[in-house]
């Protein structure tokens, strides 16, 4: 099963949409559901099963406000570079990768808190 991340994004006018990512595939939609639906089509899986956890994207003790702000800044730079057929400088790409990994671990930790323990 593919790991899917759905991130809120804003265009230059400040309008919010969502980007769904899974490996090298990505899609966008006006809602998180639209982005996910478009991504599942690209994944080519006949049956798509998932547990969906919707986060409010508010800072918490696991992934704080400064991390969220920096992740958003780097994602904006990444999209700009992508749209110009360029790549981020290596130090920014590494920082972005680390923040994405940290947010994934935070999401996993949040899920573990919500899910009942199996004996």
Asked if the model's pLDDT at residue 45 lies above 70, the reply is no
Contacts of 113 (CB under 8 A, 6+ apart): none
Query: Any alpha helices (H) in the chain, and if so which ranges?
Result: 32-43, 65-83, 90-114
Confidence class for position 91, pLDDT limits 50, 70, 90: very high
Q: Could you tell me the residue ranges of all domains in the chain?
A: 1-52, 59-119
Q: How many helices (H) and strands (E) does the chain have?
A: 3, 3
Confidence class for position 119, pLDDT limits 50, 70, 90: very low
**Tens digits of residue pLDDT in 10-40:** 777 778 888 888 878 889 998 888 988 888 8
> Which one-letter DSSP state was computed for residue 114?
H
Closest CA to 27 of 6, 10, 47: 6
SS3 label, residue 58 = coil
The pTM score is 0.56
pLDDT on residue 49? 63
> In 10 A of CB 78, how many CB atoms?
16
pLDDT on residue 89? 96
Report which of residues 46 and 3 the model is more confident about.
Answer: 3
**Tens digits of residue pLDDT in 48-83:** 666 665 556 678 888 999 999 999 899 999 989 999
């Amino acid at each position: 099963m593919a790991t899917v991340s759905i991130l809120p994004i804003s265009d230059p006018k400040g309008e919010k949409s969502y980007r769904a990512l899974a490996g090298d595939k990505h899609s966008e939609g006006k809602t998180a559901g639209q982005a996910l639906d478009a991504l599942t089509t690209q994944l080519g899986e006949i049956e798509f099963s998932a547990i969906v956890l919707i986060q409010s994207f508010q800072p918490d003790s696991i992934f704080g406000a400064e991390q969220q702000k920096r992740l958003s800044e780097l994602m904006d730079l990444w999209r700009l570079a992508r749209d110009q057929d360029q790549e981020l400088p290596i130090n920014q790409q590494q920082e972005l990768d680390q923040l994405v990994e940290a947010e994934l671990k935070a999401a996993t930790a949040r899920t573990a808190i919500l899910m009942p323990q199996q004996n």
